[in-house]
Amino acid sequence: MNCIIIDDEVTARAIISQLCDGISSLTALEEFPNAIQAIKYLNQNEADLIFLDIHMPDFTGFDFIETLSNPPKIILTTSDPNFAIQAFEYDCIVDYLVKPITRERFQKAIQKAEATSTNGIAKSINRESVELASGNDLYVNIDRRLIKIDIPSIYLVEAKGDYILIKTEEKNYTVHSTLKNIEKKLPDTIFLKVHRSYIINVSKIIDIEDNSVLIKKDVIPVSRSNRSELMKRLNLL
């Protein structure tokens, strides 16, 4: 099996790479410190297995999985055992390794991965783009299919390099587009760009503290230049 390693910690990548070296049937092709670089790699290359850290800044392991339309086998690696239940929601996840990873536990995970039938290779990352908005709906192009997103359910849009991450009540979508592009498609009565990297749904704000807003579990920075516009939108007592 060919594998890639995605982890923001150099130590974690070094340990997993060392463990891979000890297994003759496993070849570590590349290591990535973040999910965005891995997405770019998988646009051009294939892997049978991904070692994926969950807790990474900006773009979590689960956000990354959502971008894969036909994910390969994935072994999650994390310091936090509390994500195990969420991991079961994904068929592609074959095992869950809690750091520090031991050699024995790693070997067991590889055996599981080898025993699991191949259900697809990470070849087709969602090549999405913001297409059009109609009434309450926004359509995004995912692998030549137009997927409808209910606009009011969007609570946050975040710029991620060449991509944007659209977060809704039900699901997250990674779209190959820009914040400027989607801003034009969203009604400015509900949505506000509060920072160069964030557009928020103002109706979903839970609280505001100094220069940040809390939406769901996301703490979003508010730039000084946008703060006055945000305050105008609020029904202040």
Partner 1 sequence: MEQPNLSYIESMSGGDRAFEQKLINIIQKEFPEEKAVYFNNVNARNYQKAAENVHKLKHKISILGLVKSYEVAVDFENNLLNGNTNCREDFEVILQNMTDFLKTL
Between residues 19 and 113, which has the closer beta carbon with respect to partner 1?
19
| DSSP assignment string, 35-81 | HHHHHHHHHH---SEEEEES--SSS-HHHHHHTBSS--EEEEEES-G
Q: Can you tell me which of 50, 71, 99, 113 binds partner 1, judged by CB under 8 A?
A: 99
Q: What is the CA radius of gyration of the chain?
A: 20
What tokens does 100 get?
């520090």
Between residues 8 and 66, which has the closer beta carbon with respect to partner 1?
8
Instruction: Count residues binding partner 1 (CB under 8 A).
Output: 19
What tokens does 70 get?
């036909």
Site for partner 1 in 161-220 (CB under 8 A): 219
Q: Does 40 bind partner 1 (CB under 8 A)?
A: no
Nearest CA to 215 among 168, 145, 183? 168
Which residue stretch of 13-21, 60-68, 142-150, 166-174 sits at the interface with partner 1 (rule: CB under 8 A)? Answer: 13-21
Minimum CB distance to partner 1, residue 39 (Å): 22
CB atoms within 10 A of CB 8: 16
Query: Would you tell me which residues interact with partner 1 (CB under 8 A)?
Result: 8-12, 14-15, 18-19, 22, 55, 57, 79-80, 99-100, 102-103, 219
